[in-house]
Chains A and B, each alone.
Chain A
Amino acid sequence: MSGTSAGLTGRETVSIRGEGTLSSRIRRHRWLYVLLLPTLAYFFMFSILPYYGLSIAFKDFSPFVGIADSKWVGLKHFRRLFVESPDFYRLLRNTLLIHLYKLIFGFPVPILFALLLNEVRKSFFKRFVQTVTYFPHFLSWVIYGGIVVNFLTPTGVINSTFDSLGMEPMNFLTDTGLFRPIIVATSIMKDFGWSAIIYLAALSGLNPELYDSAKVDGANRYHQLRYVTLPGIMPMISLMLIINLSNILDAGFEQIYVMMNPSVYAVGDIIDTYVYRMGLEMGQFSLATAVGLFKGVIGFLLVVSANSLLRRLGQRSIW
Chain B
Amino acid sequence: MQKTNAYDYGIYLLLAIACVITIVPVLHVLSVSLSEPQAVYRSNLMLYPRQLSWDAYQYVFATPTLVRAFGITVFITVVGTMLNLLFTITGAYALSKRTLPGLSFFMILVIVVMNFNAGLIPGYLNVKSLGLLNSVWAMILPGVVNAFNLILMRNFFMDLPEEIEEAAKIDGCSDLALIFRIVIPISLPAIATIGLFYGVAHWNEFFKGLFYITDNRLWPLQVLLKTIVFDNNLNSLVGANTSDILIEPANVQAASIVFATVPIVIVYPFLQKHFVKGIVMGAVKG
Q: Cβ of A33 < 8 Å from any Cβ of B?
A: yes
Are the CB atoms of A292 and B43 closer together than 8 Å? no
Name the residue in A5, A26, A139, A155 with the highest tally of chain B Cβ atoms < 10 Å from its Cβ: A139
In contact, A38 and B87 (Cβ under 8 angstroms): yes
Indicate if A76 sits at the interface (CB-CB under 8 A): no
List CB contacts (< 8 Å) of B70-94 with chain A.
86-88, 90-91, 93-94
Residue from A45, A150, A193, A280 within 8 A of B124 (CB atoms): A280
A43 touches B206 (CB 8 A): no
Instruction: Choose among B88, B116, B257, B272 the residue that contacts A146 (Cβ–Cβ < 8 A).
Output: B257
Chain A interface helix/strand/loop/mixed: helix
Query: Which residues of B lie under 8 Å from residue A56 when comparing CB positions?
Result: 121-122, 125
List, in ascending order, chain B residues with CB within 8 A of A232's CB: none
Residues of A near B230 (CB, < 8 A) are: 142, 145-146, 149, 258
Give the contact stretch, choosing among B48-56, B136-144, B185-193, B238-246: B136-144
Once A129-B15, A147-B26 are accepted as A-B contacts, the answer to whether A300 and B115 lie under 8 Å apart by CB is yes
Q: How many A-B residue pairs have CB under 8 A?
A: 278
Q: Which residue of B lies closest to A198 (CB)?
A: B283
- Contact check, A1 vs B98: say whether CB atoms are below 8 A apart: yes
For A43, A48, A149, A279, the residue with the greatest tally of chain B CB atoms inside 10 Å of its CB is A43
Interface string of A1-36 (1 = CB under 8 A from B): 111011000010111011000100110010111011
Given known pairs A39-B87, A157-B44, the reply for A197 and B130 (CB within 8 Å) is no
Interface centre among B95, B97, B143 (most CB of A within 10 A): B97
Contact of B283 among A18, A31, A201 (CB under 8 A): A201
Interface residues of B in 113-127 (CB under 8 A from A): 113-126
Number of B residues contacting the other chain (C-beta, 8 Å)? Answer: 98
Q: Is the CB of B22 within 8 A of A193?
A: yes
Chain A positions 60-97 with a Cβ under 8 Å from a chain B Cβ = 67
- 17 A–B contacts from the bound complex (CB under 8 Å): A6-B162, A17-B97, A18-B99, A25-B99, A31-B175, A35-B91, A38-B91, A47-B118, A50-B118, A50-B122, A142-B226, A142-B229, A143-B261, A146-B230, A146-B257, A280-B124, A319-B151
Q: Give me the interface of B with A, judged by CB distance under 8 Å.
A: 1-2, 7-8, 11-12, 14-15, 18-19, 21-23, 25-26, 28-29, 32, 42-45, 86-88, 90-91, 93-95, 97-101, 106, 109-111, 113-126, 130, 141-145, 150-151, 162-163, 166, 169-170, 175-176, 179, 200, 203-204, 206-207, 211, 222-223, 225-226, 229-230, 250, 253-254, 257, 260-261, 264, 268, 271-272, 275-276, 279-280, 283-284, 286
